Structure 1
């Protein structure tokens, strides 16, 4: 596989403040495949010190952060550090807090615990100009995916995919040559709900069908490791 990255500020650094609520589900590799480098800060004050060294970070401030009031923290970060802040929604959510947080400069909302897909969706609209997803071309054998142009070619034949199908295929290609577990795909593309694993299986099945129609006679491009997950064939 070849990976061409033209923008050096990828992945985006996201700093999450500790709180009593579980902060995230998913491994660092899963977040990185979504263009996110995730780190934690033990407190709001520690996060402010970290921002001095990571000025391009996005901050997630849980509504139940304990060392300082979340509204005060949002205001300080926006005015002094000039960093975008997402309000991390938890079960501890006083009436009016979200509206007040947005009025003080918060850039948006994201529910905790964070998942790679949930966080990627939240930071997408507020990426700074130099932090947009780089033009990435992935090549796995006879398969080429161009993220910037939203194009997939198999032996030179273009195959059209829905946005969700494209994202799942890209995720599998980013994992090449390793296997990607079904659990990992569920966390990223089915809201982490194991009862929705069928959604992932249906999406993979549709991808396979489109490849078969576009390039009949080719061996399967996506291999199934029964009971475990999927892998792009070499």
Structure 2
């Protein structure tokens, strides 16, 4: 059965172009031109992925993304945001409200399809299941040697992999899907310094074409939720010039 993709943009020509390219690649496409219609379509169609423009009439794409993440049926649906060229703030905010990736207008057909395939692949093989059968980097080999478990325990953290729940110091934490996957990967490889590129590849997908600032945004978000003092993190530590390491 063809995977369903919801395309949300108020530019009719762009929507038509995106839909044509996706359909030529074997996807089923549903479209919406504003935020409220997008939410209705998402609830009705339960798409496998949402391509969402930030600038929308009625309700902007950022609020649509927030609403999608609050609903059980779409909480883990991959969201690819469309941003205008140079709008760095929109990219960062989009990631913070739960988007999985973004692509900057104008974009090419190959770039869009590559990002779509990467997000769908990550949805099929989440980080908690080891990321599929891809070639392993050194940190993944460390992870593979550890016994599999439905729960990870590290310092003040208890991570329920099956239920995708996180408890920190006795309190339940609400994490977005990518935040959960990033945290689980860091904890599985605790004590190992992981580069930003390794985290991008293993959490976002092996053919993910984004930049390393995506990792920094998600780490900052995790620190704000998990660290007693986010300005002086004890759990997720920065290794200057390299990346991050989880210590407990």
More helix by share: 2
Structure with greater contact order relative to length (CA < 8 Å, sep ≥ 6): 1
Range of TM-score over shorter length: 0.3 to 0.5
**Structure number with larger C-alpha Rg:** 1
What is the TM-score with the length of structure 2 in the denominator?
0.41
